[in-house]
Amino acid sequence: MYYVYILQSKSVPNQRYIGLTRNLKKKLLDHQGGRSPHTAKFAPWLMVAYFAFVAENTAVAFERYFKSGPSRNAIFGPIK
């Protein structure tokens, strides 16, 4: 399975991260442990949602869609 996930920083709640992985538990531990340069300074993180896919190409397309401006704003609101 492939997973697209959404994290929200517990220390800075308006910081969110969208990612793709095959191992949710390991990836969350990586984010919590500062092993991901994009999320280290905003740890700890809360996984607020994840979506499972059988096909990698579908997961990649879904992640790209989530990261695009219009869909990101629809989900999280405009960046302030």
For 4, 64, 76, the CA distances from 20, given in Å and listed in that order, are 4, 10, 18
- pLDDT per position as a tens digit, 20-75: 999 999 999 999 988 988 899 999 999 999 999 999 999 999 999 988 876 666 66
- Is residue 80 over pLDDT 50? no
Give the start-end residues of each E strand in 1-80.
2-9, 16-21, 45-53
Distance CA 60, CA 4 (A): 8
Number of other CB atoms surrounding residue 74 within 10 Å:
11
